Chains A and B, each alone.
Chain A
Amino acid sequence: MGKLTEAGWETMQVLEKPINSQNLQRAQAMQQANQASQFQIVTRQDFSDVTYLLEVCYPLMAKAAQPGQFVIAMLHEHGERIPLTIADFDRAKGTVTLVIQAVGKTTREMQQACQVGTSLYALVGPMGLPSHTSGTKKIVCVGGGLGVAPIFPQARAFKESGAYVIGVVGFRTKDLVFWEDKFRACCDEFIVCTDDGSAGIKGLITDGVKLAISKHPDIGELVAIGPPVMMRACAEMTRPHGIKTVVSLNPIMVDGTGMCGGCRVRVGGQVRFACVDGPDFDGHQVDFDDLMSRLRRFAQEERAAMDRWSESCRMKIPVDPRSGTAAAAASSAGASDEALDLPDPFEEVEGG
C-alpha cells in the first residue's frame, strides 16, 4: 500500500501535459458522438441551392419549444456552436425543424454532412424567452431572408390565439419561395414579395408591409424576423403609426445561456443579452447600428475559415458541381441583397 508503481508515476507525468488532454478529450468526444445519436435527422428538404430544411428527432425539445425560441447546434466535436431559430416543431411526431441557409463554413459543411439518418453532435435548447403570441387582434408577421421559416410558428400561434394574421414574406425570386401552403393555412392574408415580381408583388418586403398597413388601419402589432436592415426598415415604417413592433435578434453567441455576453445588444440605451433577455425586443428601441457592427465582428475569420474549407473540399472532392453552384448562388445572393445594403445576419452568425 502506498508504494508508487513505475507505471503510475509515468502516467502522472503524462497527465501534466495538456497535449494529451486534448487527445483524451477528442477520444471522449468521439465516443460521445457515437453514443449520442439522439439528435437524428429524419427529414431533409432542399428549398434552393443554399437553403435547406432539417427535421431533427428530439421529442423532449419538441414538447418544450415555443414560437420565438432558438437552438444551438454543433455539427461535430470540433465545430462551432451556431444559434438557429426554431422554424417549426411537431409535438406529436416529436421533431424540431430548422431551416438553414448555407452562407458560412459551418452551414455549408452542414449542407453536405446532414443527411437523413445522420445525427448532429449537439443540439441544445429551446433557448430564449418565448414570443408573446396573444393579446393582439390583428397582427402582421414579417419574414425576410432566413426569417421566413421562424416567422411561421409565430403566425400559427397568433392564429390559434384568435388573431387576424397578415403574413408578409420576401424572396428574391419565385423559385426560392417555400412553405407558401403552410403560411396560407394559418394566415388570413398572405403577401409574397419578390425582387423581380415573379411571384406575388414586385418589390422589397417593406412594400408588402406598407401595403398591409395602408389596407388595415387597426393593426395592433407587427413581428419581424430577418436581416437587421429589414427589421429596422419595418420598425421605422410602424413608428409613425405607433404600432407595437417586435423584432427577433440573432447576434453572435457562444453558449446561449447568458454566460458569455457575446450576444449583448443595446435596447433603449440598456445592454441586454439576446440569449436570455430576448431574442425578441421592441423594434423601436433596438440600436440596429450597434447590432450590425457587432455582427461583423468575425467577418474576417469567417472568410478565412470559408476559404480554408473550400480549399480542403476541392482537395477531397475533385469535381463537385453542387458546391460550385452553391458558391455561385451565394455570391449572387450577396449581389442582389445590396438593394437592402445588408450583410446577411446569418452569415456572420457563423462566427459564434
Chain B
Amino acid sequence: MAKKKTIRTIPQERTPIREIDPRERVRNFIEVACGYRVEDALNEAERCLLCPQPACVEGCPVSIDIPGFIQKISAKDFHGAYKVIADANLLPAICGRVCPQESQCEGVCPVGETLEPVAIGRLERWVGDLAIAENWSNLPYIEPTGFRIGIVGSGPAGMACAADMAKAGCEVTVYEAFHQAGGVLKYGIPDFRLPNSVIDAEIDKLRKLGVRFECNTLVGRLFTIEQMIDEMGFHAVFIGTGAGYPSLLNIPGDSLNGVLSANELLTRCNLMLARDTFGHDTPLTIGRQVTVVGSGNTAMDAMRVCLRLGAEKVHCIYRRTRAESPARAEELHHAEEEGIEFHWLTNPVEILDDSKGSVRGMRCIRMELGEPDDSGRRRPVPVANSEHEIETDMVVFAIGTNANPIMGQTSEIKLNRRGYIEADDDLATSLAGVFAGGDIVTGAATVIEAMGAGRRAARSMKAYLGIRDTEHPGRAVAGEKLFGIDLAERNFVRLRAA
C-alpha cells in the first residue's frame, strides 16, 4: 500500500447500488437492490480508511472484522474476504440484506462524519452472494465430539447456533414447526428483499456442516424440552423460537374480515406462496385500499407485498414521525419510492364495518409528540378533536409481537413477567443444559441480533459441555469467564460425550 488513505483521498461518493425502477418493481417480487458488480465493490472498498481501532467492529453484534474483509476485497482476494466474514458470520448474504447497518456498523463509521459512511452492508452482501455463486464454504476440519445438540426453531438464532455447534464437532438437529426451514427469513421477509434462494443456499451450507433439519416438528407439543434432555439424549438444547404471537390493537372492529396481522399476510404470501394463485392453494385477498398500522421493517414488507399483489393504494399509519420509525433507512426509502402514502402522527381509533363483516374504513386520530417515555422516544399524545376517516378495505397490523406461549405451557422453564424465557448473560435458562436466545428472550428485535444471540448461546453451550472454543481460542478477552471457566485459558481438556 503506497499511501495512507485519508478522508480527502478516498472516493467521495458512496458507490450507488443498481435498483429496479419503482414503477416496474411494484408489480413483481424480483429483488429490488441488484447488488454490487465487481468494480462497484472494489470502488467502495477503497472508501474504507482501515481505522486501527475500528468502531464498526464494535458496532457489529457479531463483531465481524470489517476492515479485515474490506482490505481483502481491495487486494482482490475475494475468497479471503469471505473467510474473514464467515469467521464471525455464517450468513453474510442474509445479513448484508437485512441488518439495520445505519444503526450498527455504518452508523459509527468515521467516514460517515463528513461523507456517507462506507457501504459495509452492501459489501458484505456482495461477498455473501459471491460465496453462494462460487460455492465457497468455510468447512473446517471437524473432530466429532459425540455431543448431541437439539435446536428449537430454524430461524436466524437457531441457524447461527447450529453452525457454531456443528463446527465444534457436535451432532446438531434443528427442529422447525413449518414444513420448510428458515423461520422468519422464509415466512417473514419477502423475496424482493431477501430471495428464498439465498436462504436455501445458506441452509445448504449448514447441511454440509452436518446439521440435520427436521421440519413439521412442533417442539413442546410433539415432545417437550425436558424430554429432549431426559429421553432423547440431547446433551444441550437451544431455544430460538422467536416471539411470534402478533399484537393486535384492541380497538372496535379488529376482528372484522380484512383485518389481519402482518405475520399472517407475509406467511401466506412468502411461505405458502399465495401470491401465485393458480399454483398454490392458500388464499390471500388483497384489498383495493390497504392500511398498514406500524412503521417497522415488517410494516414496510407488508405494505410493499400488498402493492405487488395489486392494491391500488397503500397507506401507512404511524403514531410517531418518520424520524422515530424503526424501519431500516433503505426500506423506508424504497417504500416511499414505490408510492406508499405515509400518515405520520396518526393513530387508529376504530375500524369501520361495511355491515357485511368486512372493512369499510378506519377512523383515526392525529397525535403530537410529548415528553420522552421509557424508550427515550417522545411519547405520542392524541390531539383533541382531530378524528378523521380513511377509506380502506383491508387493515394490517404490524405493531410488534408478544411472547409465544407454547414453551411456557409445555415446560417448567422459567419465564419473565412478560412471558419471554428468562435467560442470564450467558443465555442459560432455568433448566440445566437449556439455552435460549433471540426474540423469545429479548422480544422482537433484528435478524442479526438473533444471530448474535445464537452465537453467544453456542459459546455458552461449549463451555457448559467442556468443549474448547476452537474457532477463536485467542480472541476471548482475558479474564472473561463463563460458568467459572476462563475463556482465554486454552489448555483445558476437551471432554467427549459418553
Contact = CB atoms under 8 A, between A and B. Distances in A.
Contacts of A10: 133
Interface in B108-149: 129-130, 132-135
B339 interface: no
Closest 5 CB pairs of A and B: A21-B197, A12-B133, A301-B283, A260-B264, A259-B244
A298 B222 contact: no
A294 interface: yes
A262 B281 CA distance: 17
Given A259-B244, A262-B261, A276-B406, 12 more contacts: A1-B77, A8-B134, A21-B191, A22-B276, A25-B197, A32-B215, A77-B179, A125-B218, A126-B218, A254-B268, A260-B267, A294-B357
Contacts of A296: 257, 357
A241 interface: no
Contacts of B492: none
Interface stretch (B1-9, B160-168, B247-255, B472-480): B247-255
B133 A297 contact: no
A22 B276 CA distance: 10
A90 B191 CA distance: 42
B29 interface: yes
B245 A273 contact: yes
B261 A261 contact: yes
A124 B80 contact: no
B163 to A, nearest CB: 20
Interface string B211-255: 000011110011100000000000000000010111010100011
A264 B223 contact: no
B200 A105 contact: no
B73 to A, nearest CB: 9
A83 to B, nearest CB: 13
B50 interface: no
A24 interface: yes
Contacts of B30: 16-19
Contacts of B191: 18, 21
A266 interface: yes
B27 interface: no
B464 interface: no
Interface string A123-141: 1111101000000000000
Nearest to A17: B30
A290 interface: yes
Nearest to B285: A301
Interface string A275-308: 0110000000000001001101110111001001
A8 B34 CA distance: 16
Interface string A55-92: 00000110010000100001001111100000000000
A43 B215 CA distance: 24
Interface string A1-16: 1111100111110011
A233 B229 CA distance: 46
A121 B357 CA distance: 34
11 contacts: A2-B79, A16-B30, A16-B129, A64-B222, A78-B273, A78-B279, A79-B280, A124-B177, A125-B218, A261-B248, A293-B357
Interface in A183-199: none
B59 interface: no
Contact of A276 (B29, B38, B409): B409
Contact of B281 (A19, A61, A276, A305): A305
Contact of A123 (B216, B255, B281, B283): B216
B244 A15 contact: no
A221 interface: no
Interface in B192-220: 192, 195-198, 200-201, 215-218
Interface residues of B, number: 71
B342 interface: no
Interface string A304-333: 010010000000000000000000000000
A210 to B, nearest CB: 31
Interface residues of A, number: 71
Interface of B: 29-31, 34-35, 38, 72, 75-81, 129-130, 132-135, 177-180, 187, 191-192, 195-198, 200-201, 215-218, 221-223, 242, 244-246, 248, 250, 254-257, 260-261, 263-264, 267-268, 272-273, 276, 278-283, 285, 357, 404-406, 409
Contact of A124 (B179, B201, B250): B179
A271 interface: yes
B412 to A, nearest CB: 17
Contacts of B244: 257-259
A74 B280 contact: no
A28 interface: yes
Given A2-B76, A259-B244, A305-B283, A12 B255 contact: no
B254 A271 contact: yes
B177 to A, nearest CB: 5
A44 B276 CA distance: 32
Contacts of B201: 15
**Residue of A1, A9, A260 with highest tally of chain B CB at under 10 A:** A260
Contacts of B261: 260-262
A156 B168 CA distance: 49
A28 B200 contact: yes
Given A28-B200, A351-B283, A258 B77 contact: no
A106 B174 CA distance: 30
Given A15-B132, A28-B200, A296-B357, A21 B263 contact: no
Contacts of A201: none
A118 interface: no
B404 A276 contact: yes
A121 B278 CA distance: 19
